[in-house]
Structure 1
Amino acid sequence: MSDTASVAEDDPEVPEIDLPSDAFDAVLDAVSDLGPGEPLRFEGFSVARDADDQYVIAYGDRQTGLSEREFHEALDERAPAVTDWYTFEHVVGEFGPRRAFLRWIEDADGRTVADRYAALAAGIERAWGQLRITATVTDRGERRYDIRHADDAGVPAAELDAYEDPLDARDIVKLDAKGRYRPLKTAPTLDSGWVFPALSPRDAYETVETVYPATVVNWHRERQGELDVTHWRETMARQSGIYGVVRTWDRGEGHEHANWVAEACCDDSQCLKRREWEYDDETDLDVDGGDGVFPCREPCSVVVSGARKWTRLESEQSRTYEFELTPSEKEQVEAVIDAVADGRVDEIREADTKDPANRYRTRFLRAKRFDDAGNLSGTPTEPDDGSQ
């Protein structure tokens, strides 16, 4: 997943910005709160109020003794910088994950105001999981955000179901395209066909956090060097009740078991987070943690629930079974397992009998190799003598 913003078209022009009264009033209030001569800084210039309650602009040559009307005219000429300050200082607010995320969208810490406003005029696009976020700017310097599924990039908003309230995203994320419940909100199963076409900065942040809870917060913590990671052993050690059984996996072979669980649950094909937790502080897992832009700081409920079930299954003693299969049939069984594990079953065409996991080919294998009791090659799971 790219960490770079893209612009919708090449060489966009800087838009004409009219300084809104609320932005100008905010500058007046901010300057009034400062002492005489103390500057309020924007990108490329600063403003202040002198001892005679006149205004000063420092931009190359200083302009002094400005009346409020002259001050307004001077700021109107520099409206992009003023509205940029107003957007992040007053509309967005706090120095935290919300501001960091919205500034990241337009690369505000690496590009000038002029460059960003030119790019915003065309639309700056960012990917966040399966979301496509497009930031634009109005002729008053106000940010607007279009948030939709990445699969719907380029689709006219009129052809999608439009929403305005960030809380509407709670219903969008509940079910996948087949109407099945999504227990993991960061699974790559987000349904498409919807759009939030013109969100304010705060509503854009709330929408993203509703679709992918805590992802922006943890992304910000990681960027600040403050991500608190809870590893596998610590997570499993605090399980109790029906989940307490997972603690038995930390007896000798816990590291190997944790690898299996992470490979099953934490791959990019299953979760869009990038796993940062390991076995413990001193022992890394042997499987890749993924490439997602937002981090996973601890084993989630899906991992813990799966580990509980697999702990019980792994308590069974291994047995040796003898099956009669042709080499092609053995490879077919392996292909079927891979197809199910990778979620590719629905992609296999019914007419494609060359694919080992094809439905008709699999039904043929069942007809040939299963007995009336459903045993592969007629071999029962339990020994005939009932021994364990």
Structure 2
Amino acid sequence: MADPTPDAAPAAGDDGAATTDDDLTVPEIDLPSDAFDAVLSALSEIAPDERLRFEGFAVGRDAEDEDAGDAGDAAYVLDPAGDDARTGLSERDLHAALVDRAAAVTDWYVFERVVGEFGPRRAFLRWIEDADGATVEARYAALAAGIERAWGQLRIAATITDRGERRYEVRHAADAGVPREELTAHDDPLDAREIVKLDGTGRYRPLKTAPTLRTGWVFPDLGPKAVYETVETIYPATIANWHREREGELDVNHWRGTMERQSGIYGVVKTWDRGEGHEHVNWVAEACCDDSQCLKRREWEYDDDTDLDVDGGDGVFPCREPCSVVVSAARKWTRLESEQPRTYEFELTPSEKEQLEAIVDAVADGRIDEIREADTKEGANRYRTRFLRAKLFDEDGNLGGVPTDPDDAE
């Protein structure tokens, strides 16, 4: 099974060598008043003997101060790691101490107050900058240079302001080197609904996780909430399911259970079960759930006890159940497979047999548009295919085979 965590692109200037905090160029960070006010508010909500903890230090209210119960007049305590605690600090003293530690304070403020409660959004934003594995100094240095992450066909770039605020850019990975002014800029996450509707040739995209996302657009300056909404609009539920998988809570609905719930015109799929081997479901998965067709990684199998023989792919998004595209296709295949097989006899040269194989492969892999008109060496070349049709098909468009079953001959 593939690693469910997407890869990070290296930060600007990264040569792949190991980096220590001593080698980092950490940007100067101002302590914004709203971050300091948030600290004071948080301190007023905890007991005098408790501490508000940051990376490398903690702050609290001075329990020995007679006015400690009144946040407005309280004295404060600073507990630096490895140093003696400083007690009896005034609000001004505390502010000065936190100004010297503005990176850690703004980091706390961003995730605790701006982003808020732990969940998919917070986990995603922390993953972008490796907040669960790197120090504040390392992350702020990387953010100052620019962090890039890949999410499907998206390139997400994260930077930081001198107030510790995160800003994000989202664009198609294929547009990574294109100047912003050459792309259509958007600032509303809901604009992504139009971007994902059609592919680059103007065809409707029924599957939003298909690798057919069109290029030519950019969301140049998004905040933490807006970048999450943008990505989830482009790839619905991918962050939520990625987070569930990381937490060990991904609820997978396998093929058999999903098909048993189908009703109406889709209820016919429930009749399509070939017993041991379930080769028909293998065919469905091979057709629809390949990396070339969908960016998701299939986690569903035939049922709880029966795995499919087809690889689930290397996508970064877990697929927890057969999607509507799979169900719709399976309905059509159920009807087609219900036909009784017949035997036909065709006369083909070896090259014509190979050409038919090449045509099927080219259509299945979506390579028809890549085959040049002048390249008649390619079996799926348009002119070679038209020649084969002229030779083997009758005027009604029927392949001129001879049925070997006497009933068919009638």
Aligned partners of 1:360 and 1:78: how far apart in 2? 71
Aligned partners of 1:251 and 1:275: how far apart in 2? 21
Contact 1:188 1:272 in 2 (8 A): yes
Deviations 1:333-381 (A, max 9, x none): 00110010011111111121111111111111112222212122x2378
Q: Counterpart of 1:233 in structure 2: which amino acid?
A: R
Unaligned segments of structure 2, at least 5 residues: 15-22, 66-73
1:56 aligns with 2:44: no
Aligned partners of 2:194 and 2:404: how far apart in 1? 46
1:379 aligns with 2:391: no
Q: Counterpart of 1:197 in structure 2: which amino acid?
A: P
Q: Counterpart of 1:361 in structure 2: which amino acid?
A: R
CA 1:382 to 1:172, structure 2 compared with 1: closer, same or farther past 3 Å? Answer: farther
| Structure 1 match to 2:236 | 213
1:353 aligns with 2:408: no
Deviations 1:266-311 (A, max 9, x none): 0000000000000000000000001111100000000000000000
TM-score, normalised to structure 2, is 0.91
Identity over aligned residues, as a percent?
A: 78
Contact 2:358 2:379 in 1 (8 A): yes
Aligned partners of 1:169 and 1:256: how far apart in 2? 38
TM-score, normalised to structure 1, is 0.96
- Displacement of 1:317 in angstroms is 0.9
| Structure 2 match to 1:176 | 199
CA 1:380 to 1:162, structure 2 compared with 1: closer, same or farther past 3 Å? Answer: farther
Aligned partners of 2:117 and 2:229: how far apart in 1? 14
Deviations 1:183-224 (A, max 9, x none): 000000100100001100000001010001111111111111
3-state SS, counterpart of residue 8 of structure 2: coil
1:30 aligns with 2:42: yes
Contact 1:163 1:197 in 2 (8 A): yes
Aligned partners of 1:18 and 1:257: how far apart in 2? 62
| Structure 2 match to 1:247 | 270
Q: How does 1:73-92 map to 2 (within 5 A)?
A: 73-92=96-115
Q: How does 1:11-160 map to 2 (within 5 A)?
A: 13-51=25-63, 52=65, 53-59=74-80, 60-61=82-83, 62-160=85-183
Aligned partners of 2:166 and 2:274: how far apart in 1? 55
Aligned partners of 1:250 and 1:322: how far apart in 2? 29
Contact 1:348 1:357 in 2 (8 A): yes
- Displacement of 1:12 in angstroms is 6.1
Pick from 1, 4, 17 the counterpart of residue 8 of structure 2.
Answer: 4
Contact 1:233 1:250 in 2 (8 A): no
Aligned partners of 1:207 and 1:255: how far apart in 2? 39
1:313 aligns with 2:336: yes
CA 1:148 to 1:44, structure 2 compared with 1: closer, same or farther past 3 Å? Answer: same
- Displacement of 1:250 in angstroms is 2.1
Q: Counterpart of 2:401 in structure 1: which amino acid?
A: T
CA 1:146 to 1:382, structure 2 compared with 1: closer, same or farther past 3 Å? Answer: farther
1:204 aligns with 2:208: no
- Displacement of 1:37 in angstroms is 3.0
Pick from 184, 187, 206 the counterpart of residue 164 of structure 1.
Answer: 187
- Displacement of 1:56 in angstroms is 1.3
CA 1:362 to 1:263, structure 2 compared with 1: closer, same or farther past 3 Å? Answer: same
Aligned residue pair count: 387
Q: Counterpart of 2:238 in structure 1: which amino acid?
A: T
Unaligned segments of structure 1, at least 5 residues: none
Contact 2:345 2:403 in 1 (8 A): no
CA RMSD of aligned residues (A): 1.7
Give the stretch that moved more between structures: 306-315 or 59-68: 59-68
Aligned partners of 2:333 and 2:302: how far apart in 1? 17
Q: Counterpart of 1:136 in structure 2: which amino acid?
A: T
Pick from 220, 233, 237 the counterpart of residue 260 of structure 2.
Answer: 237
Moved over 6 A (4+): 380-384
Aligned partners of 1:229 and 1:143: how far apart in 2? 34
Deviations 1:61-104 (A, max 9, x none): 22222111121111011111000000000111111111001101
